[in-house]
Every structure is written in C-alpha cells, then in structure tokens.
Amino acid sequence: MNPKDIKFFNKFFRNYTKKFYSDAEIDDETKINLKLKEVHTYRVYRNITYISKSLNLKEEEINLAKAIALFHDIGRFEQLRQYKTFLDRKSESHSEMGLKILYEKGILNWMEERERKILITAIKFHNVREIPKNLNTEELFFCRLIRDADKTDIFKVWIDYFEHKSCYNPSYGMDLSDSDEYSHNIISDILANKISLLENIRTYNDLKLLLLTWIYDINFDASLNLILKRKYMREIFKILPKNKEMKKVFEHVHFYISER
C-alpha cells in the first residue's frame, strides 16, 4: 500500500463521517458521540503509526496499518445513527457494519487481495475478547497491532470521561451504576492475569477494573511504553476506591508491568 492510497482513504473517511453531522434526524447528543469516535479514530491512527515505526516495518506495511486504524471503527457512525448506543449486543456488530460499508462504497476493491484480506481480518477481530487461533502470521500480527493501538487510546477516552467529565460519553447506552460497588469476579480476573468480559460489568468501578485487565492483552513493548508514558494505569488507580483489596490489585498490576 502506497502513500497515494492512504491519501485517498483519508479523504474518503473525512467525507463519509462529515455527512452525519448535517443529518437533521441525528440529535445533538448523538453528534457529540459521533465526534468522540472521529477523534478516537485519528488518535488510533497516530498510535498505530508510532507502534509500526518502532517495529521498523516497511513503508507499505505502515500504510496498511494506517488504513486498518482509519477504518477499524467506521461502523460506529452508522451504529450511532441507527441505534444510539456503543453496545454491539444492543444493536449490531460495529465491525461487521463497518466492513459492509467498505464493501458497498468500493473501498475494499481499491486494495490488492492480500492486503484486503489482512485489513478485513484485523477489523473483524479488533475488539473481540480473544483472537482466533487459525489466522496466518500476517493476519495475527496486524490484529495485534490494531488491538494495541485501539486499547491504548480507549484508556485515554475513559480516563478523560472519569476525571474531567468531558462532553463525550463513551458509556452511551450502557446504563451503568455510579455506586461504590465493584465486582470481586473482576478482581479475581486481574489477580489471575485474565481479561474480563464487558458483558459482566454493572458499575463504573467495574469498568475501571475491566480496563486494568486490558494490560494483559497488550502485545508490543512500544504500546506498553505509550501506556506507561501517559500514566494511564496510575490515573485509573487514582479514581478507584481506596482499600486493601485495591492495594493488592495495584501491587499485582505493577509487578506484572515490571516483569514485562
């Protein structure tokens, strides 16, 4: 994939997303969250560029990674327009919606077969709990790349929301409780180095703890370095309850990162 392709894809993405803001049927709250996904996409784009360059990838590989980042959440815009939620289980898979859009708009026809297959696979599995084990080496690599770039920014999205009460609402459609309660099952997952399921969270504290489990699904040192440099783990612990159980969680996560 060459720079001309990326220029074309960027122009398509800008034009595609722009039309949602002028849709009279979309309310202001939805438009605010459309903007959240637009801004998120460009930050993921920058993250994946940084990680790719740190891995000394070839220019065409970096460009493919950029295309994956640009299109990984393109289904979110139609999902928000139709269903007013970020939850796939309450609507449709935003990954599948995005791939359908790319098919319909002819974007996938722009790519040669090998790159098209990698991009489709990476988008399809960018937000599943576990990547399928039957992928080839290239597909697996680019899946891990977009998952790292995506998670790295989602840490920021949630921390901004919790700490600064930004106008963007990443919990749109989730109906979570603001209580001080939290799930001991998620605590157990953290101490067992396991990723928790989004379906099991009931409170915002659960969600904060869920984010901590994502550290076990970070694949590249460059991604981990970004997370540490931006102090995302520390910021999450700052907004969790202060008790012995959380102290134990903090020490466990800190030890895990140190070992990495």
% of the chain beyond a pLDDT of 90: 92
Average confidence (pLDDT) over 239-254: 96
Residue 7 confidence class, pLDDT cut points 50, 70, 90: very high
Q: How far apart are CA 180 and CA 241, in angstroms?
A: 7
Residue 166 confidence class, pLDDT cut points 50, 70, 90: low
| Segments making up each domain of the chain, as ranges | 3-152, 176-259
Beta carbons of 142 and 48 less than 8 angstroms apart: no
Q: How far apart are CA 23 and CA 38, in angstroms?
A: 16
Cα–Cα nearest to 208, from 243, 176, 230: 176
Beta-bridge partners for 177: 203
Which CATH number applies to 3-152?
Answer: 1.10.3210.10
Cα–Cα nearest to 28, from 173, 167, 174: 167
Per-residue pLDDT of 170-226, as tens digits, reads 988 888 999 999 999 999 999 999 999 888 899 999 999 999 999 999 999 999 999
